Structure 1
Amino acid sequence: MPKKIVFLLFLYISISAKAQLTDLARLEYSFIPKRNSGDQYTRIRALLNYPIKVKEDSYFVVGAQYNRIFLNLRDDYPFDQSFLETLTILDLNLGYTFKMNTKWRAAFKLTPRLASTLNGKITGNDLFLNGGVFFIKDRTKGKDIKPYRLILGLTYNTTAGIPFPLPLISYYKAVNEKLSYTVGIPKMNVKYKLNAKNNLQTFVALDGYFAHLQRPTSVLGERVDNISLSVVASGIGYEHLLTKHLIYYAYTGYTLRLNNVLRNDNRDNIFTLDNLNSFYLRTGIKFKI
């Protein structure tokens, strides 16, 4: 795979892994229209994680994440688009976290994944394996300090095409009671607290997917077996705290990079469905610890 695609897939994988460390439930809608076209990409995402206390400060977490992707291809293409109408990505989340000492917490995650068009028989090509190990230093609740959180980790994902773990780094710090920021890989933002229940932020977000086509087809004389989307978007985000842990959020902006591609079995680029930057929207509600 081209190095840029590998890098972007890794970033998206890291975002999913980091979100699943803190989110217990999430329901989300995403929308990206194709510029100067009738095509549009929409996605419905639902996530549920259930922590089971093993002993003091130690939890086993079991959960699942469901993604239903609608490509809505309306332009004229040199192939039948019916096999690409919908994609399904289903993750099973298995995790364990414990407190190592007064400063550090460790977390381990294993995520078998089904990513496919699901218009045929499920085979090994539809199944992938993700995982990660994370170390978290959380000083957001202490007194007489500027709150911060450091996350260091390694993630592994078979869809990235790289046969070794990749690093994850994230650093959050509160500058004062109103202003905070997050830097690192994969997330960067600057957040401003308007009041006790409302936050605004500027952000750079990464999004995307990789899925297997159960009905491979020929496009311009080449066989296609997979499809991938990689997105880098920037804009403004809004959060409203319905309760202490229940949050409504909306992120809107413009893509800085977008690449929706049909690929062969070696993950080479066969046909580009969309590479024009466009409007970006992601909104939903989440319950987090």
Structure 2
Amino acid sequence: MVSYGQKMFTTTHAGDVMALEYSSYLNLNDVQLDTKSVTIDFTSVLDKPTIGFGMSYTNNSLDFVAYDRFHDYSAFEELHSIELFARYKKALRNNWDVNVTVAPYVSSTFNEAISSDDFILSYAGSFTKTWDKDGLKSSLKIGAGYGSLFGKPNFYPLLSYSKHVNDKLRYEIGMPVTGVFYKLNEQNSFDFKAEPESIYANNTSDFSMTNNEVVYNSELEFKALKLGLGYQFRFDDNWSTHFNMGYLLASELTLSENDNTIYDFDSKESLSLNIGISFNINKK
């Protein structure tokens, strides 16, 4: 599962799950990034309308060993994100749905006491139109959101068209996700997606720059476009696991203060590996 603060846009929700996930970015220009997360998601407490809620915790570990001889980046070696989210969905007329998600979260190094700069209020709203022809569904989503989907918190569009070509094949075109999804059988499925990857975390502790100037409120920002090939295997009605091998394009890893870049690690391209396991509570 992924952070709703970053990815409230997905049209492929797997609701009512508990999930563990591990990701590794193999080489962001000599910076190693490993991510571990746990998510508890209860999507359908009520059926009509649907009210969902959940929480997640993400730990990002960065290794700056190759840069230690130039400067001390230890303040940014451990990043933490704690998030609560609530989701509301209501059916409207003519097969339209309205979806609203609110996800406040803290994203920080936790090196000092938490400040207001560590808090981010992310949210998203959209309308979805669904068609059903001969048992094959298509949908159109239109909306917008606010969060750290593309790095520093900002507004972003939600616009996508999804269509089932047959019982096994579905494609989705839009912003922020474009992909192809293939279900081989009840146990095995594959996907190929283009989607954003991002991290944004605040650091309230002092950070000494190379000119001996001390900054007391800085941010780490990571953003990239990921092309990923994924595989999911269902053990039974409850348990499933997934793997993803990705290639990151146009990645950026920077430290900044008040929109002024302190240091650019010039991360460029990288390979990524993701593995996760989830428990589906409702056997959907």
Q: State the TM-score bracket (shorter-chain normalisation).
A: 0.7 to 0.9
The letter of the residue matching 1:187 is: V
Classify 1:241/1:282 alpha carbon distance in 2 versus 1 (closer, same or farther; 3 Å): same
Classify 1:247/1:16 alpha carbon distance in 2 versus 1 (closer, same or farther; 3 Å): farther
Classify 1:148/1:254 alpha carbon distance in 2 versus 1 (closer, same or farther; 3 Å): same
Larger relative helix fraction: 1
Structure 1 position 28, deviation (Å): 1.2
Counterpart pick for 1:94 among 81, 86, 89: 86
* Unaligned ranges ≥5, structure 2: none
Corresponding residue of 2:59: 68
* 1:146-193 C-alpha deviation (Å, 9 max, x unpaired): 32232222112377454xx53201221111233221110111112233
Q: Secondary structure at the match of 2:136?
A: coil
Distance between the aligned counterparts of 2:238 and 2:157, measured in 1? Answer: 29
Counterparts in 2 of 1:37-186, with a 5 A limit?
37=30, 39-51=31-43, 53-54=45-46, 57-77=48-68, 78-101=70-93, 103-139=95-131, 142=132, 144-157=134-147, 160=152, 162=154, 165-186=155-176
Q: Secondary structure at the match of 1:118?
A: coil
Distance between the aligned counterparts of 2:188 and 2:44, measured in 1? Answer: 31
Distance between the aligned counterparts of 1:116 and 1:14, measured in 2? Answer: 15
Classify 1:99/1:169 alpha carbon distance in 2 versus 1 (closer, same or farther; 3 Å): same
Question: Is this contact kept in 2: 1:15–1:187, CA < 8 A?
Answer: no
Classify 1:89/1:14 alpha carbon distance in 2 versus 1 (closer, same or farther; 3 Å): closer
Distance between the aligned counterparts of 2:236 and 2:133, measured in 1? Answer: 23
Distance between the aligned counterparts of 2:174 and 2:29, measured in 1? Answer: 34
Structure 1 position 227, deviation (Å): 0.3
Counterpart pick for 2:203 among 186, 210, 213: 213
Question: Is this contact kept in 1: 2:15–2:43, CA < 8 A?
Answer: no
Classify 1:160/1:228 alpha carbon distance in 2 versus 1 (closer, same or farther; 3 Å): closer
Question: Is this contact kept in 1: 2:22–2:34, CA < 8 A?
Answer: yes
Counterpart pick for 2:235 among 233, 236, 242: 242
Classify 1:252/1:96 alpha carbon distance in 2 versus 1 (closer, same or farther; 3 Å): same
Question: RMSD of the TM alignment (CA)?
Answer: 2.6
Under a length normalisation based on structure 1, what TM-score does the superposition of the two structures give? 0.83
The letter of the residue matching 2:134 is: D
Question: Is this contact kept in 1: 2:28–2:267, CA < 8 A?
Answer: no
Distance between the aligned counterparts of 1:36 and 1:270, measured in 2? Answer: 17
Does residue 233 of structure 1 match 2:226?
A: yes
Q: Secondary structure at the match of 1:83?
A: helix
Counterpart pick for 2:273 among 271, 281, 285: 281
Structure 1 position 30, deviation (Å): 0.8
Q: State the percentage of identical aligned residues.
A: 25
Classify 1:287/1:186 alpha carbon distance in 2 versus 1 (closer, same or farther; 3 Å): farther
Structure 1 position 51, deviation (Å): 4.1
Question: Is this contact kept in 1: 2:24–2:33, CA < 8 A?
Answer: yes
* 1:53-72 C-alpha deviation (Å, 9 max, x unpaired): 45x51132221121111012
* Unaligned ranges ≥5, structure 1: 1-11
Distance between the aligned counterparts of 1:176 and 1:52, measured in 2? Answer: 27
Distance between the aligned counterparts of 2:261 and 2:159, measured in 1? Answer: 30
Under a length normalisation based on structure 2, what TM-score does the superposition of the two structures give? 0.84
Count of residue pairs the alignment pairs up: 271
Corresponding residue of 1:4: none
* 1:196-244 C-alpha deviation (Å, 9 max, x unpaired): 3212222223211101012131322363600011121214211223345
* 1:87-122 C-alpha deviation (Å, 9 max, x unpaired): 001111022222123512212111111010001111
